[in-house]
């Protein structure tokens, strides 16, 4: 009888191991990299996966801290897209939230935003631009998909400049040529170095340029 | 005579086995990167990456990170950055709220300050399984899992936060003689080098990820510092890369204006997992400078 109880406890103890995502690791070290895991409190885990995680029990919570490890396989496996695209898209929501918060705080409520993204891959640039416009709209700001236009001669001159120098010059030229109204602001989102994995943001308003982040 | 030798040989064998098990010789550790550590890094370790950049590394001691371990972590991070051209200085404050020294680098001041706070986020070792494992001389393996967290903040000259990340890593360690032997044979027969599990490869993978991401975060902070004009004049600016994209290209799409009141229903933001058209995979960056020791929080594997 004692032995039976003992083995029951052992099996009960080991039951968690069966569903442990680490079991995928026996196929090899790279296999675990394909899993996106997050450790959550039991309450948060129940909120997200009510069918799989039971609600919190006050009595058990006082005796031990219970949490859950939630894992899912990456939809796009490693190596299927460019590393920088992968990182930028992985953190796009957070980056865009941070830069739009600064842009919103730096302008008046009547300002209408034009947004452009400068990124080597046009598909990713489009995603960054749309995400930024959407976030600004969610923040209660007016946005437009209109883009300020520069004269061909200006563009030719600026093509030879590094992006971080070209944008302030472009801002001054846009103001001089009257391409932007006083209540409009141009928000540029850019990656400036091939080795960096963050988005920078600069704001052009009334001919004045400043980097926000 | 032979009858007395056999129990002695058995006892000696058991002693060796117990020593091997107790000494952690028959463990298999699975490393599971979480969150940021799963992402690739782009900064290739080169001697000029942080050339002429003064970096102060602060490792905060805590209950999970004793002073000695914090010093070791600081030393290894510093060593990694020095290998990439940085001029480094390490500080291990005794209290979390201890302010950084007013002037580092003999009064010149640091261009960047890296602050690392480490903690053990989760630990569980299946006590009943450990008991059975002990009774069976690890024929049934014991299992322990730990999740570590490192919060890294990079500040500029004026203490502005330029970049920060929280890195998490989970380790599941199996301790069992048969499991270890089976895994050894599986490595030898079935798995390629990138997938081997024996030895301390899990810890080495973590070291590579951790130092790689610290370098990436520091590089991002350095670019931001240059852009915001925080970098000291004595520091050499990072080389600029000309862009092929014109600053403002004329658009062919019809302009539309939205106001918050008339804004269309928000479309889902492009998620991180949106399938992009397959692109040519860039060659992976060369591996970082080898660091023989894992970060101090993990101890010696």
- Report the CATH number at residue B44: 3.40.50
Residue B289 lies in a domain: no
Does B121 contact A at CB distance below 8 Å? yes
Distance linking the first and last C-alpha atoms of chain B: 43
How long a stretch of residues is chain A? 213
Residue B253 lies in a domain: no
Residue B136 lies in a domain: yes
Question: What pLDDT is stored for residue A122 in this prediction?
Answer: 93
- Write out the H or E segment, with its range, that includes residue A113: strand A112-118
Show Cβ contacts of residue B131 under 8 Å, excluding neighbours closer than 6 positions: A10
| CB-based contact B267 A134, cutoff 8 Å | yes
Question: What pLDDT is stored for residue B71 in this prediction?
Answer: 92
Structure tokens given for B115: 């602050």
- Does residue A5 register a pLDDT over 80? no
Minimal Cα distance from B260: which residue of A? A140
Q: Which residues of B219-234 are buried (b: 16+ CB within 10 A; e: fewer)?
A: bbbbbbbbbbebbeee
| CB-based contact B216 A197, cutoff 8 Å | yes
From the list B167, B165, B170, B163, the residue with the least C-alpha distance to B147 is: B170
Show Cβ contacts of residue B289 under 8 Å, excluding neighbours closer than 6 positions: B45, B80, B83, B84
A183/A130 Cα distance (integer angstroms)? 21
| CB-based contact A12 B128, cutoff 8 Å | yes
Question: What pLDDT is stored for residue B110 in this prediction?
Answer: 86
Residues B155 and B162: beta-carbon distance below 8 Å: yes
Please, which residues bridge with residue A37 across strands? A71
Grade residue B245 by pLDDT with cuts at 50, 70 and 90: very low
Pairing of strands A184-190, A112-118: parallel
| CB-based contact A158 B246, cutoff 8 Å | yes
Domains of chain A: residue spans and CATH: 2-73 (no CATH), 83-211 (3.40.50)
Question: What pLDDT is stored for residue A157 in this prediction?
Answer: 81
Distance linking the first and last C-alpha atoms of chain A: 68
Distance from CA of A98 to the nearest CA of B (A): 12
- Write out the H or E segment, with its range, that includes residue B64: none
Residue B60 lies in a domain: yes
The total number of structural domains in chain B stands at 1
A110-157 residue pLDDT tens:
899 999 999 999 999 999 999 999 999 999 999 888 888 887 888 888
For testing the chain A interface, which of B202, B248, B258 should be mutated: the one with the most A CBs within 10 Å?
A: B248
| CB-based contact B276 A192, cutoff 8 Å | no
B38-68 residue pLDDT tens:
889 998 887 788 888 899 999 988 888 888 9
Does B62 contact A at CB distance below 8 Å? no
Structure tokens given for A100: 């739009």
| CB-based contact A195 B219, cutoff 8 Å | yes
B202/A25 Cα distance (integer angstroms)? 11
**The pTM of the whole model exceeds 0.95:** no
Structure tokens given for B177: 């003689």
Residue B276 lies in a domain: no
Which domain does B101 fall in, by range? 26-237
Number of other CB atoms surrounding residue B74 within 10 Å: 24
Residue B9 lies in a domain: no
Q: SS3 of B284, please?
A: coil
Q: Is the dihedral of CA B102, B105, B109, B110 positive or negative?
A: negative
| CB-based contact A163 B279, cutoff 8 Å | no
Distance from CA of B271 to the nearest CA of A (A): 7
């Amino acid at each position: 009888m004692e032995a039976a109880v003992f083995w029951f406890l052992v099996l009960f103890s080991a039951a968690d191991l069966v569903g442990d995502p680490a079991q995928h690791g026996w196929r090899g070290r790279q296999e675990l990299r394909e899993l996106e895991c997050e450790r959550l409190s039991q309450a948060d885990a129940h909120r997200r996966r009510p069918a799989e995680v039971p609600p919190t029990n006050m009595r058990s919570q006082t005796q031990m801290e219970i949490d859950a490890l939630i894992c899912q396989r990456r939809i796009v496996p490693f190596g299927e897209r460019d590393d920088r695209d992968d990182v930028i898209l992985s953190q796009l929501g957070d980056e865009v939230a941070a830069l739009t918060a600064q842009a919103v705080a730096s302008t008046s409520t009547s300002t209408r935003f034009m947004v452009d993204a400068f990124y080597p891959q046009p598909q990713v640039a489009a995603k960054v631009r749309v995400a930024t416009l959407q976030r600004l709209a969610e923040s209660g700001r007016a946005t437009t998909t209109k883009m300020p236009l520069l004269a061909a001669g200006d563009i030719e001159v600026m093509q030879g400049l590094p992006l971080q120098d070209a944008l302030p010059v472009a801002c001054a030229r846009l103001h001089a040529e009257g391409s932007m109204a006083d209540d409009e602001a141009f928000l540029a989102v850019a990656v400036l170095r091939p080795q960096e994995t963050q988005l920078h943001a600069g704001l052009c308003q009334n001919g004045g340029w400043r980097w926000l982040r | 005579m032979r009858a007395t030798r056999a129990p002695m040989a058995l006892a000696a064998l058991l002693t060796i086995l117990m020593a091997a098990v107790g000494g952690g010789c028959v463990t298999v550790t699975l490393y599971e990167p979480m969150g940021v550590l799963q992402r690739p890094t782009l900064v290739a370790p080169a001697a000029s990456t942080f050339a002429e950049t003064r970096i102060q590394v602060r490792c905060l001691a805590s209950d999970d990170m004793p002073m000695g371990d914090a010093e070791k972590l600081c030393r290894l991070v510093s060593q990694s950055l020095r290998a990439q051209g940085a001029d480094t200085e390490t500080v291990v404050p005794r209290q979390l709220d201890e302010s950084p020294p007013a002037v580092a680098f003999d009064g010149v001041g640091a261009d960047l300050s890296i602050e690392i706070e480490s903690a053990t986020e989760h630990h569980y070792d299946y006590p009943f399984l450990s008991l059975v494992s002990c009774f069976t001389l690890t024929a049934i393996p014991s299992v322990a899992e730990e999740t570590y967290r490192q919060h890294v903040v990079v500040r500029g000259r004026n203490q502005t936060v330029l970049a920060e990340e929280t890195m998490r890593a989970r380790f599941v360690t199996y301790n069992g003689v048969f499991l270890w032997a089976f895994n050894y044979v599986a490595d030898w027969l079935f798995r390629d080098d990138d997938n081997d599990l024996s030895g301390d490869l899990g810890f080495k993978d973590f070291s590579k990820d951790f130092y790689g991401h610290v370098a990436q975060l520091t590089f991002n902070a350095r670019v931001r510092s240059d852009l915001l004009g925080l970098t000291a004049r004595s520091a050499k600016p990072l080389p600029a890369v000309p862009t092929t994209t014109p600053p403002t290209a004329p658009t062919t799409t019809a302009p539309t204006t939205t106001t918050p009141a008339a804004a269309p229903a928000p479309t889902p933001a492009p998620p991180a997992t949106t399938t992009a058209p397959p692109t040519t995979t860039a060659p992976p960056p060369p591996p970082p400078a080898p660091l023989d020791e894992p970060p101090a929080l993990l101890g010696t594997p």
